[in-house]
Every structure is written in C-alpha cells, then in structure tokens.
Chain A
Amino acid sequence: MAALRDGDFAALQILLKAPSKDAVRQLCQECFSSPPAALGPLAQRAGPGLAVSAEEAEQLVSALHNLTRHVVYRGLTRAEDILCLFPENFHQNLKNLLTKIILENISAWRNEAQASQISLPRLVDMDWRVDIKTSSDSIVRMAVPTCLLQLKIQEDAALCGNNPVVSALTMELSKETLDTMLEGLGRIRDQLSAVANK
C-alpha cells in the first residue's frame, strides 16, 4: 500500500514522452502488478522506451505504482473521484487518459489485490477416491469402505513470489469421520445462509 506523494504527479508527466497510448496502458498495468521490490528492474526496462534517464524512469514507475495502488485501496470507481486526485495544473489529456486506463482496469486490479492478500494456506484443489478394504493383518476377510481425500494446498502467495509452493495432503476418512465432517460442514452452510439472509 502506498500513499501518494507530492513529487509523484510531477513524475507522471514524464508519460507525455511515451510513444503511444498503449505503451502507457502497458506501463500502468505493470506498475500496479509489480511489488515495491521489483520496481527498480521495471524502471530499467521501461526507461529506454521513454528516452529518459534512469533516475526519471524510477520516479515515474514509483509514481504510477503509488497512483494505481492508491485508487484500488480507496476503492474509487467513478471518473470524478479519480480526476480529483490530480493537481490543477496537470496536463489535461494525460489526466483523462490515465483516468480512462485506471477505470478500465480497476475491477481486474481489485481482484488481483484480493487474490494476493495474506491468508492461511489456500485450498487449490481437492480429489477423492473410495476404496473397499478387503483384508488386513487383523482380520482376513472384510468389506469396509473408506475414503481417501487429497487436498492440494498452496502456501501464502506473498511468501513464494512467482513459485508458489503447493503441497498435497492425502488423508483417510472412515465413514463415521465423514459423517461427522458433513455434519460440521452442514452447520457452516446453515450459518452462512443465516448471515446472508440478514
């Protein structure tokens, strides 16, 4: 989360040197998605395209990052709200272009922020199979159904960067355990509908 700083809007005017509107759009998206630590390398890549010094590129990238993230943080959805953020003497066309780009991307960005927020390890996939146990060392002949459940769990995305660690946990459930679990899950569902109906 970044707050808008005074120098940011001055730095944004560097975008006037951008070759095309699409280039601006592309840069906005990259700046939003990049975590603060990766802004340096991003500036190095973007600098040559804009024909600016390394320092100016860094300021620009940082400013765009702050602006886009600020809008997403505040949950601004109307053009007027975004336009008000800009100072009076800001270049009109650039202001309108940036506002338009932000509005186009706002809901995707919001989803991205929500998907990458901190959480406990997340469930990514779930598979099951039912086996019938026919024999064991304690009893030679039987027919006991049992369930094998495999959960694929992904560690916190923020900790893993681009290589999320997914671990698979396979568990065995007896019929009794499954019944108890379903009872618990049913109670959750009932409580969820009670909350939804309020």
Chain B
Amino acid sequence: MGLLNFTREPVPEAVSADMHNLNQLSAQQFSALTEVLFRFLTEPKEVERFLTQLSDFATMNKISLGPLKNIVKSILLVPNGALKRNLSSEQVRADFIALGLSEEKASYFAEQWKANSPTLTRLAVGQTLMINQLIDMEWKFGVTAGSSELEKVGSIFLQLKLVVKKGSQLENVYVELTLPQFYSFLHEMERVKTSLESFS
C-alpha cells in the first residue's frame, strides 16, 4: 500500500478485508450506508440513533451486525483523519482506492465528503481548546437610592454576572460597573468585534 494522506501510521490489517466486503454492496446499499455514516459524523452526539440505524441497515440487507460494525469502524478511519488534516475530496478518494475500495464507491464517498466538509470542519473547530470560555452573561442595572453614608444618592450602577467555564466547572463572576466604565467597556468590545471581523 502506498503512502496514505489521512494517516502516517500503518493501517490495521482488517481494513483491506473490510473494503473488499464493501465492494460487494450494491451502489444503492453503499449510498444508504454512507448516508447513515455522514449523519453520525455531522451529529456525533446521536450515538443511539446511529447504532439503531446501523442495526436496521444490517437487518434490511441481511448482513450480520458484528461484521458490519467492523466495516464501519474501518471506513470511519478515513474521514476522521481527513478532517484533522484538511484533506481535499481528491485525496480522500485516492486514499479509499489505495485501501482497496472500488473507484466508483470511492468517488461517491469523496463527493459526500466534499458536501459535508463545511459542517464537519465547523464541528472540529468547535471542539478546539478554549481557556476560561465565557458561556453566559446576565446583567441588571438600577439606581442607588441611599446608603448609610449618604442619605440621597441617585447614582446608576450596572451589575454583570459572567458565567465562565473553568475546566469542567462553571464559575460565576459578579462585577459592578459605573456608568462611564460601562460606556468604555462597550466601546472596547466594539473595537474587538471590528478586529475579529477583519480576520474572519
């Protein structure tokens, strides 16, 4: 097997056999299976649904579930590696062919890959490490009417509650701002937005 695009490590031996089995599926069966796979890849949390759909596919096409799961594991190696390495659909196609999949099926899969890659990329980016991510912000503002030192005050205060994710826990941070500070904060945040937009 020549150099593969999606991985630098040697591929498990079972993969060739799995590809050979895949080649036995009709075009329609392959297309149905591909659909199930991509639906899972774009919604990785829906594990239950994925397993149900696989088992339905197995029943409908009279394939045993065990071997089918192995085949699926082998197929998924390619899109997972391709996503990490930003592979083009051409490279994905070439890899499948190198693994032993028929040209027709490899091309079909590569096309589906191209169609789904924006969603998949967005998902991968979303999983990227974030430090102390700001999750939520709540606010209230009001007027201080009086205090123990000043009978009548009448000044405006603004209170923010910032919910920050520290590791796996959420932490609440409470801050109070004066009015000038608020306007200055707003101004700075607008500058950040302009900066972020110029880099997007």
> A47-55, A86-94, A136-144: which one contacts chain B?
A136-144
Mark B144-163 against chain A: 1 for CB-CB distance below 8 A, else 0: 10011111110111110010
Contacting residue for B190 out of A118, A170, A172, A182, CB 8 A: A182
- In angstroms, Cα B199 to Cα A55, docked, is 70
Contact partners of B197 in chain A: CB under 8 A: 175
- Complex contact B159–A120 (CB within 8 A): yes
B28 CB–A CB distance under 8 Å:
no
Contact of B149 among A1, A181, A192 (CB under 8 A): A1
Bound-state Cα–Cα, A182 to B183, Å? 12
Q: Number of A interface residues at 8 Å Cβ cutoff, please give it.
A: 59
Q: Are the C-beta atoms of A172 and B189 separated by less than 8 Å? A: no
Q: Which of B76-94 contact A (CB under 8 A)?
A: 83-86
Which of A17-25, A38-46, A109-117 makes up part of the contact surface? A109-117
Q: Contact size class for B?
A: 35 or more
Q: Is B132 an interface residue (CB 8 A)?
A: yes
A72 touches B150 (CB 8 A): yes
B14 interface residue, CB < 8 Å from A?
Answer: no
User: CB within 8 A of B130: which of A75, A146, A178, A184?
Assistant: A146
In the complex, number of A-B residue pairs with CB atoms less than 8 Å apart: 160
- 15 residue pairs A–B, Cβ–Cβ below 8 Å: A1-B148, A116-B149, A117-B150, A121-B176, A123-B175, A123-B176, A147-B196, A169-B173, A170-B132, A171-B134, A172-B133, A182-B186, A182-B190, A184-B137, A185-B186
User: B residues near A, CB below 8 A?
Assistant: 83-86, 121, 124-125, 127-135, 137, 139, 141, 144, 147-153, 155-159, 162, 164, 173-177, 179, 181-186, 188-190, 192-193, 195-197, 199-200
Give me the interface of A with B, judged by CB distance under 8 Å: 1, 69, 72-75, 110, 113-114, 116-123, 126, 128, 130, 132-133, 136-149, 151, 153, 169-175, 177-182, 184-186, 188-189, 191-192, 195
